[in-house]
Structure 1
Amino acid sequence: MSLVLDWNNNQSKFEIPETWITMLNEILQLAAANEGLTSGEVTLTFTDNEEIHELNKTYRGIDRPTDVLSFAMNDDGVDELDIIFEVDSEDELDPISGMLGDIIISVERAEEQRLEYGHSLEREIGFLFVHGFLHLLGYDHQDEQSEAEMTAKQEAVLQQVGLTR
């Protein structure tokens, strides 16, 4: 099994170019390889601020839109995820739970942020995707040390695909 990206588009404000999907597949492969993963499945949904606001309110109790949400299949049900999957001797994800989880990106919020930060929408989508992927694996940014680690991992992947600021 290899790493698979399934995606769908639940918003109508922005076209999702095929080049984004190619880029996100490359990001997935690089980020997974950096973590020692060679198999698994990620589902990505593009949405708008209204839908992600509702999801954020329902699942996180935060009554506002956000840019990206991640729902890990290996969630241990506690406040924040720990890295709870184990890689076997062949660097394969446990075959019973090949689904890593879902990433939901508000393209509308990504557009707002890319204008704020002064870079391309493609770069912002790439950043949000790798950020969400690392959350699926249990990484977080609750304190300075974990935020620095996550930021370094994100930037390394974005550099590898040429998505610099």
Structure 2
Amino acid sequence: MTISLEWYDEREPAGGTNEAKDAGWQELLERLLKLAGEAEGVEAGVVSLTLTDDDGIRELNREHRGLDKPTDVLSFPMREPGASEPDIRYDDEYETVEYETETDAGEESEWEGDDGLAADGFDPFAEMLGDIVISVPRMYEQAEEYGHSPERELGFLFVHGFLHLMGYDHMTEEEEKAMIAKQEAVLSRAGLSR
């Protein structure tokens, strides 16, 4: 099992999917997710990332936080901080499903075998860790404001969002220092230090 990224781009096509793919953002964020997961001891799970614009993130910010303004990143964890994973219980009559490794035409199917993993490594039963939403216009503005690359800012926002999914926060000075140190350590390992 691995930690994986589901990728969505809600922006208009002119500033959306092609830009993100051409800039190598998906590969960058998958690498950051792996590094952040390793740092937090997370070996498996799925993180959903949505790229949006200021209007899209403003709507989510208003709906979920009661703040009628755009922000740079929002995180929506699937588990409450400190909650343990639920126990999985099986009936005595639980039946397993075996997947064929070849189709009738002799071609390989989308399944590798009976481990439940698709040929591309996707695990349909992996735990959903949560959702991260990033405003791309805000990311560009902040990169310019802070004097670093858009990739560095995107990485910062993504790792920040991931740490929120893991239960970290920055409500006190101590929490903020700890969270920033963790973010910078991951970004540094990825070659995105300031």
TM-score by length of 1: 0.86
- Measure the CA separation in 1 of the matches of 2:25 and 2:45: 20
- Measure the CA separation in 2 of the matches of 1:11 and 1:150: 29
Q: Which has the higher helix share?
A: 1
Write the letter of the residue equivalent to 2:83. Answer: I
- Measure the CA separation in 2 of the matches of 1:57 and 1:84: 27
Question: How far did residue 164 of structure 1 move?
Answer: 1.7
Counting matched residue pairs gives 150
**Structure 1 stretches of at least 4 aligned residues deviating more than 3 Å after TM superposition:** none
- Measure the CA separation in 1 of the matches of 2:28 and 2:147: 20
- Measure the CA separation in 1 of the matches of 2:27 and 2:82: 27
Give ranges in structure 1 of 5+ residues lacking alignment.
Answer: 76-81, 87-95
Task: Give the structure 2 partner of residue 90 of structure 1.
Answer: none
Question: How far did residue 17 of structure 1 move?
Answer: 2.6
Q: CA RMSD in A?
A: 1.4
Give identity over the alignment, percent. Answer: 53
Task: Give the structure 1 partner of residue 166 of structure 2.
Answer: 137
Question: How far did residue 97 of structure 1 move?
Answer: 7.0
- Say which one has the larger Rg: 2
Give ranges in structure 2 of 5+ residues lacking alignment.
Answer: 86-124
- Measure the CA separation in 1 of the matches of 2:149 and 2:172: 28
**Correspondence 1:10 to 2:10:** yes
Is the 1:83–1:137 Cα contact (8 Å) retained in structure 2? no
Cα deviations by residue, 1:77-120 (Å, 9 ceiling, x for unpaired): xxxxx34346xxxxxxxxx8710000000001101111110101
Task: Give the structure 1 partner of residue 180 of structure 2.
Answer: 151
Q: Against the structure 1 CA distance between its residues 34 and 85, is the aligned structure 2 distance closer, same or farther, given a 3 Å change threshold?
A: farther
Write the letter of the residue equivalent to 1:155. Answer: E
Is the 1:84–1:138 Cα contact (8 Å) retained in structure 2? no
**Correspondence 1:55 to 2:57:** no
